[in-house]
């Protein structure tokens, strides 16, 4: 049996893995009328005072920041936190990563009980996910806000020997998440980052799913891309990587 929250507006989460475009999607949804999309509220790390984040203006405390020294008993503390997040006026959502669901499995029960809508954002090209993770480490930038100086372009060296294993592992996590959405019978839709990037109609489909009014145009995000170079420029051992992937089903990732 399900029980929708008695609050106006759609309540939703963006379920994804790191470096898959979830912040970009959240920033665009924040441009929609009567809609707020927070960042990773279940990131187990406190914000650094004075640091500018992409969602600094929203200034909503993360779960770890909202707890007292005696944090209470889970899942009740988790449910209480979610009630406070969602029982705000308008359409309210936040980002949740696969790894955070693993640490807080009670989230799935809450989402099912309260009919929380799930936008499952995937990135088909998992090689891009791996590259983005490495660029983040090298550049020390997770996101780049409009107006911020652009960091120098970096090169990364991929572990060609274990690359196929890492790609399979990332795809496996996506499949596990799909299964969880089915098992808990969650109200969900799956969107690929590549489709969202190339077709404004995909963003309109998300708005329709979330019952958020849209004029059909793709809103302007407050973010811009950090990585601009192609594979040959950014992958230091490109030829080795290409040779490795040429013998696998992932060869098309470099096209």
Express each pLDDT in 116-167 by its tens digit.
Answer: 999 999 999 999 999 989 988 776 666 666 666 677 778 899 999 999 999 9
CATH class of 11-124+169-226: alpha beta
Supply the pLDDT for residue 93.
97
What pLDDT score was predicted for residue 141?
64
Contacts of 81 (CB under 8 A, 6+ apart): 41, 63, 66
- The model's pTM: 0.91
pLDDT at 152: 72
User: What counts of helices (H) and strands (E) characterise the chain?
Assistant: 11, 7
- Map residue 40 onto helix, strand or coil: strand
What was the pLDDT predicted at 143?
A: 65
Tell me how far CA of residue 121 lies from CA of 15, 23, 49, 97, 221, in angstroms.
6, 11, 30, 10, 17
* Torsion angle (degrees, nearest 10) of CA 223, 40, 170, 144: 20
Task: Give 254's DSSP letter.
Answer: G
Q: pLDDT at residue 176 above 70?
A: yes
For helices 238-245 and 163-183, the axis angle rounded to 10 degrees is 60
The pLDDT confidence band at residue 195, using thresholds 50, 70 and 90, is very high
Beta bridge partners of 40: 95
C-alpha 148/C-alpha 222 separation (Å) is 11
Which stretch of 3-17, 84-98, 192-206 has the lowest confidence by average pLDDT? 3-17
Low-confidence winner among 6-10, 102-106, 115-119 (lowest mean pLDDT): 6-10
Beta bridge partners of 145: 223
What mean pLDDT value characterizes the chain? 89
Q: Who contacts 142 (Cβ-Cβ below 8 Å, separation ≥6)?
A: 23, 136
β 91-97/35-40 pair status: parallel
pLDDT score at 71:
58
Higher pLDDT, 224 or 90: 90
């Amino acid at each position: 049996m399900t029980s929708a929250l008695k609050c106006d507006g759609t309540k939703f989460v963006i379920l994804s893995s790191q470096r898959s475009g979830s912040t970009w999607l959240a920033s665009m949804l924040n441009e929609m009328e009567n809609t707020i999309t927070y960042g990773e509220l279940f990131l187990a790390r406190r914000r650094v005072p004075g640091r500018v984040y992409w969602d600094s203006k929203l200034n909503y405390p993360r779960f770890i920041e909202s707890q007292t020294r005696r944090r209470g008993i889970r899942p009740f503390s988790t449910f209480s936190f979610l009630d406070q997040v969602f029982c705000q006026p308008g359409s309210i959502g936040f980002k949740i990563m696969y790894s955070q669901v693993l640490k807080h499995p009670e989230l799935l029960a809450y989402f099912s009980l309260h009919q929380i809508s799930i936008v499952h954002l995937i990135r088909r090209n998992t090689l891009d996910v791996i590259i983005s993770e490495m660029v983040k480490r090298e550049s020390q930038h997770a996101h780049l806000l409009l107006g911020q100086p652009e960091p120098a372009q970096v090169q990364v060296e991929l572990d060609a020997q274990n690359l196929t294993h890492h790609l399979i592992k990332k795809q496996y996590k996506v499949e596990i998440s799909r299964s969880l959405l089915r098992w808990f019978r969650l109200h969900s839709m799956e969107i690929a980052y590549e489709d969202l990037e190339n077709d404004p109609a995909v963003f309109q489909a998300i708005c329709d799913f979330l019952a958020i009014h849209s004029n059909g145009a793709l809103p302007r995000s407050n973010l811009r891309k950090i990585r601009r170079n192609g594979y040959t420029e950014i992958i230091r051992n490109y030829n080795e990587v290409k040779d490795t992937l040429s013998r696998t089903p992932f060869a098309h990732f470099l096209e």
